[in-house]
Amino acid sequence: MDVIRLRKGHDIVLPGKPEKRLEVVGRPLRLKVRPSDFRGIRPRLLVRKGQHVSVGSPLFCSKDNPELTVASPGSGRVAEVVLGERRIIEEIVIELDRSEAFEQFEAFGQDALGSLSRERIREQLLRSGMWPVIRQRPFSSVADPASEPKAVFVSAMPTMPFAPETDYILSCDPSGLQAGLTLLAKLVGRPVHLVISAEASDSPLTEAKDTVVHRFSGPHPAGNVGIHIHHIAPVRGRGDIVWYVSLQDVMRIGRFFLQGRFPTGKIITVGGEPFEKKQYMSVRHGMMLGDILRGNAVASGARLISGDVLTGRAAGPEEPLGFYHEIVSAVAEKKGRDFFGWLSPGLRKYSASKLFLSRLNGNAKARLDTGVNGSRRVMIPFGNIESVLPMDIEPAWLIRMIIARDIDEMEKLGIYECDPEDFALCSFVDASKMEIAEIVREGLDFIEKNG
């Protein structure tokens, strides 16, 4: 099999890599579910304060498609429904019972999965609240159950900082993998595009059935699903739909159909120099960062991040881990600016180019923090952002057209293939200090609403 080799990109050197040691987090007292995690769903509340829910009970549905629901990851009492401006549902808080109660769904044997119809699989995923694990491009929203995707992708080679390593995830528990792949293939009527690293030798992946296996190599963002879609089944227009599912969510789908119970757990990493313990952890969906990090000291002045350092969101201890996030990161918080910092030789300043001497030893002694090392300025065409984007797209021109809100030019320049996570590294290296990933998100939101 041919390997797609990418040269553009950059692997950020960050101390604090997680050790391959798994800790199972104890049962928390509360869980939180945030509708904002599920892009594309306008929530309609299905529970009220004080109501008892089981694992798998629907909490809210989509106003546009009531079949599409999000389920409770725990069994207990709805302690609070937090509303924001214009009564938008911000989060649902669940106080857990001492014992677990599950909604019961039909279970199937491994041999019976291949005979299930597309409609039967679709109905089971929707009724259980499992459907939101499937997302779609363009717009990176929860997949429309009525859409007809031309392909479905599963990426098994994450390259973002501190991402869980696929081989370790599979060594912990590979159950449900083949079942999930078979079900996805039946759901879309064609084999799953399974993307693995060029060096991968995991037999559960290389020998997986109902798949077309692709191998990629290169620096980040070579592991992003958007990069894989661009090189294998590019999105050419608004109606050109591609679905994608994370590897762990594929296994969750498989386990759900085999066991008939809504799966609530996932394996994440805790990485970054500010943490006392850098490791893998088995957690429950909806857990707050404070519960995940209990017993794990965090250096003062550090910023907690739900997700990776490039695309995650700053979060406090009382905030839940994002539904799609598999990393908890931390970086040192920086206040103020260095006096004439650009004049120093930069032995301890991180350099993605060759501006500082730190690049001579691979940034080994450099320390990254939240500082942007400069102020915003006009767009400077140095070629920085093009050097880290392995896509056949002109990012500088696309950014200009997004700012100008020119829909026709955005479409010509490939806006439908884009996602903020694919441009996060562009924001990191941009000499103009622009939030390029946020600009791309604004462009996608604008064209989705007005296109």
Pairwise pLDDT comparison (329 vs 354), residue with the higher score: 329
**Alpha carbons 234 and 193: distance in angstroms, whole number:** 13
> Residue 347 pLDDT more than 70?
no
In tens, the pLDDT along 158-176 reads 999 999 999 999 999 999 9
Query: Which residue type does 109 have?
Result: G
Share of residues in the chain with pLDDT > 90 (%): 85
Measured CA to CA in angstroms, residue 274 lies from 105, 248, 321, 336 at distances of 43, 27, 18, 20
**Alpha-carbon gap, residue 287 to 420, rounded angstroms:** 25
pLDDT at 342 over 70: no
Q: Which residue has the higher pLDDT, 82 or 363?
A: 82
Taking alpha carbons only, the member of 144, 130, 161 closest to residue 421 is 161
For residue 324, which of 307, 302, 305 has the smallest C-alpha distance?
307
Instruction: Specify the pTM.
Output: 0.94
Report the amino acid identity of residue 236: R
- Strand 43-45 to 58-62 pairing: antiparallel
Q: Above 60 in pLDDT, residue 357?
A: no
Say what the pLDDT of residue 433 is.
86
- Which pLDDT score is estimated for 360? 58
Segments of 105-261 assigned E as strands: 135-137, 141-142, 151-155, 192-197, 211-217, 242-246
Query: Quick one: 24 exposed, middle or buried, by C-beta within 10 A (0-12, 13-18, 19+)?
Result: exposed
CB 51 within 8 A of CB 77: yes
pLDDT at residue 349, as a whole number: 74
Q: Sign of the CA dihedral 372, 374, 375, 379?
A: negative
Helix (H) or strand (E) holding 113: helix 110-113
Model pLDDT for residues 231-276, shown as the tens digit of each residue:
999 999 999 999 999 999 999 999 999 999 999 999 999 999 999 9
- Parallel, antiparallel or unpaired: strands 151-155 and 242-246: parallel
What pLDDT does 355 receive?
A: 66
Quote the tokens at residue 134: 């499937």
Q: What is the pLDDT of residue 351?
A: 73
Average pLDDT for 25-31: 95
Asked whether residue 373 carries a pLDDT value surpassing 70, the answer given is: yes
Q: Which of 178, 182, 198, 202 is nearest to 190 (CA)?
A: 182
Please say if the pLDDT value at position 299 is more than 90. Answer: yes
Question: Rounded to 5 degrees, what angle do the CA atoms 144, 149, 153 make?
Answer: 100
Domains observed in the chain: 3-13+113-259 (3.40.50), 19-25+265-332 (3.10.20), 30-96 (2.40.50.100), 372-450 (no CATH)
